[in-house]
Amino acid sequence: MARNVVETARKFLLLGQCVPTVKQNAAKIRVKRLELDENLLMYFRKDEFYYCHDPQKVCKTGDIVLIQSLPQKLTKLITHEVKEVVYPFGDITDPITGKKVAKERYREDMDRQAEIYGKLPSSFDYDKAPSRGWQDGKKDFTSKPTYTKFHVFDENDPYAI
């Protein structure tokens, strides 16, 4: 009885990453968990996948999203809904300080260093960069329908995973 309560409470709100899917009006979310091995007394990573109701298509592949369980299943697979996009893909924010990050450094530290030593001509300016999605159909194919490639053909399809 107590184990069921823990299981339902554990699956109410989850944080996961959006992965490609072929389902319409749904997003496939990968939630990473740690599972204890009783023999070794070590934790190992276990991925769980949830199909979430997302009719407005607010999350794209790679986004970190918060999902909430539905009171009733929408379909046999869709058991959760996308609540919000916490971190868009490529726009990394440190969760403790709330500062934007590029690789292993804060962006404001990079800007301060550029003011002191001068900016390199080849350096990237994050303030002038357009938001994600401006290359939709050119180099960003996350909005295109994907499918799982079961056979290897001579021609390479960019939409296959």
Give the CATH number of the domain where residue 21 resides.
2.40.50.140
Chosen domain end from 51, 71, 87: 87
Same domain, 33 and 12: yes
Pairing, β 101-102 against β 78-87: unpaired
Question: Distance between CA atoms of 29 and 77, rounded to whole angstroms?
Answer: 12
Q: For 106-136, how does the pLDDT look when each residue is reduced to its tens digit (9 = 90+)?
A: 999 988 998 899 888 777 888 787 777 677 7
Same domain, 104 and 53: no
Same domain, 126 and 82: no
Q: What is the predicted pLDDT for the residue at 106?
A: 93
Question: Distance between CA atoms of 21 and 51, rounded to whole angstroms?
Answer: 9
Q: What is the predicted pLDDT for the residue at 145?
A: 62
Residues making up the chain, counted from first to last: 161
pLDDT over 90, % of the chain: 38
Q: What is the predicted pLDDT for the residue at 149?
A: 62
**How many separate domains does the chain show?**
2
Question: Distance between CA atoms of 50 and 66, rounded to whole angstroms?
Answer: 12
pTM of the model: 0.68
Same domain, 28 and 54: yes
Same domain, 49 and 98: no
Choice between 56 and 156, residue whose per-residue pLDDT is larger: 56
Residue 56, in any domain of the structure: yes
Residue 159, in any domain of the structure: no
Same domain, 66 and 106: no
Same domain, 82 and 10: yes
Choice between 5 and 77, residue whose per-residue pLDDT is larger: 77
Same domain, 44 and 62: yes
Q: CA torsion 96→35→64→25, rounded to 10°?
A: -160
Same domain, 18 and 82: yes
Which residues constitute the domain of residue 15?
2-87
Q: For 16-55, how does the pLDDT look when each residue is reduced to its tens digit (9 = 90+)?
A: 999 988 888 899 999 999 999 999 999 999 999 999 999 8
Same domain, 73 and 117: no
Same domain, 40 and 81: yes
Same domain, 16 and 71: yes
